[in-house]
Amino acid sequence: MTPNAPNGYDVIIVGAGPAGLCAAMYAGRGMLKALTIERGAPGGELLNTDLIEDYIGFESIKGWELAQKMTEHAKKFGAEIVTDSVERIRKAEDGWFDVATTRGKTYRAPAVILTAGGTPVKLGVPGEKEYAGKGVSYCAVCDGAFFKGEVLAVVGGGDAAVEEADYLTRYATKVYIVHRRDQLRASKIIQERAFANPKIEMVWNKRVLEIKGTERGTDHLVLEDTATGGRATLAVGGVFIFVGFRPNSGLVEGHAQHDAAGYFITDERMMTSIPGLFAAGDVRSQLTRQITTAVGDATTAAIAVEKYLAAVREREKAGVAS
């Protein structure tokens, strides 16, 4: 498709994590004029992950190194990546998408692949940032194996927190679930599984005030009793935080079908309920969120965009509005 605007593209990819970079690579292979917009360095959450051991083909690789390899691979096929933050994605009356950024740019394309993912909700306490990747984690599946034989803490009381605590017991000698209330928010069946697990211990009515440690990593938490205000410490070798995850689905102006948590619902082509808007990776409603699923989504989305654009051209030739 030949863009009909000076700054037009065939497809705009929002986000340059694993999904975005994979989509950019496949778009380049498909000879599409594509633009990838990323607010920071390419790599996304890979840059916040120390060691990766669950990405097929790499028994062990640093997060930044995998990000670099993915970026170089995408650029080999002509990926154009700009550093900017997307503020709004809106489908215009002519069927094209306007993608507006904080730098005052508006890029246009008949298709968009949204791979902006989401953000784990942070506790916002001292030590959380300092020990990220050194004892503080937001993904049990990603990092659990690094904590074999350790005593761990999971912060949160919802389904994700309790399920991840149960998962971590396969590696840890003990897992504390630290919750600010006296009962969990998780579904009953998940709670029952946790209560029946001898490796799990509940720490009720406690709020994390600080995460402390040494140059080797996290070694204890400072807790505050939400009822009495009293303080205590909890010795742990790692802390997994599951107090929420916010998908970046709010970038889209207009209603696209989503689940109760705000994740986009797509069809088998990764297209949302807005024609031409595709979603891949952590922003999409699915069972698990891993690097492998992100690049799988992106592969499907990029190839589907080619077919979508071909169909649009055929409709235009036939004089049918898109």
Q: What pLDDT is stored for residue 3 in this prediction?
A: 43
- DSSP secondary structure, 214-225, as one string: ETTEEEEEEEEE
Q: Count CB-CB contacts under 10 A for residue 198.
A: 7
What single-letter DSSP state applies at residue 271? B
| pLDDT tens by residue, 252-268 | 998 999 998 899 999 99
């808007």: which residue's tokens? Answer: 277
Q: What pLDDT is stored for residue 2 in this prediction?
A: 43
Q: What pLDDT is stored for residue 117 in this prediction?
A: 86
CATH number of the domain where residue 44 is located: 3.50.50.60
């904590």: which residue's tokens? Answer: 147
Instruction: Report the alpha-carbon distance of residue 120 to residue 158 in Å, rounded.
Output: 14
Which of 50, 54, 84, 139 does the annotation list as catalytic? 139
- Is the pLDDT at 6 greater than 90? The verdict is no
Q: What pLDDT is stored for residue 53 in this prediction?
A: 82
Q: What pLDDT is stored for residue 100 in this prediction?
A: 96
Q: Output the CA–CA distances (angstroms, integers) from residue 283 to 100, 116, 119, 241, 256, in the order listed.
A: 19, 7, 10, 19, 12
143 is catalytic: yes
Give the pLDDT band (50/70/90) at residue 321. low
Instruction: Report the alpha-carbon distance of residue 95 to residue 229 in Å, rounded.
Output: 57
**Burial of residue 252, with CB atoms counted within 10 A of its CB: 0-12 exposed, 13-18 middle, 19 or more buried:** buried
Residues 263 and 173 in one domain: no
Query: Rounded to two decimals, what is the model's pTM?
Result: 0.75
Decide if 236 is inside a domain. Answer: yes
Residues 114 and 141 in one domain: no
Which of 213, 241, 269 is the endpoint of a domain? 241
The whole domain housing 32 covers 11-120+245-317
Q: Count CB-CB contacts under 10 A for residue 110.
A: 25
Pick from 196, 205, 199, 159: which is nearest to 176 by CA?
199
Q: What is the mean pLDDT of the chain?
A: 92
- Is the pLDDT at 87 greater than 70? The verdict is yes
What single-letter DSSP state applies at residue 17? S
Residues 277 and 205 in one domain: no
Residues 22 and 158 in one domain: no
Residues 29 and 163 in one domain: no
Decide if 127 is inside a domain. Answer: no
142 is catalytic: yes
Which of 10, 142, 166, 282 does the annotation list as catalytic? 142
139 is catalytic: yes
- Is the pLDDT at 4 greater than 70? The verdict is no
Segment 106-112 shows an average pLDDT of 97
Backbone torsions φ then ψ of 301, nearest 5 degrees: -60, -45
3-class state of residue 100 by DSSP? strand
| pLDDT tens by residue, 160-214 | 899 899 999 999 999 999 999 999 998 899 899 999 999 999 999 999 999 999 9
Q: What pLDDT is stored for residue 128 in this prediction?
A: 96
Which of 241, 259, 283 is the endpoint of a domain? 241
Give the pLDDT band (50/70/90) at residue 78. very high
Residues 139 and 54: beta-carbon distance below 8 Å: no
Residues 156 and 186 in one domain: yes
Which of 143, 166, 282, 297 does the annotation list as catalytic? 143
**What is the chain's Cα-based Rg?**
22
Segment 53-65 shows an average pLDDT of 91
Q: Output the CA–CA distances (angstroms, integers) from residue 219 to 49, 148, 166, in the order listed.
A: 19, 15, 21
Q: What is the number of domains present in the chain?
A: 2
Residues 198 and 249 in one domain: no
Which of 41-50, 70-79, 173-182 is the least confident region? 41-50
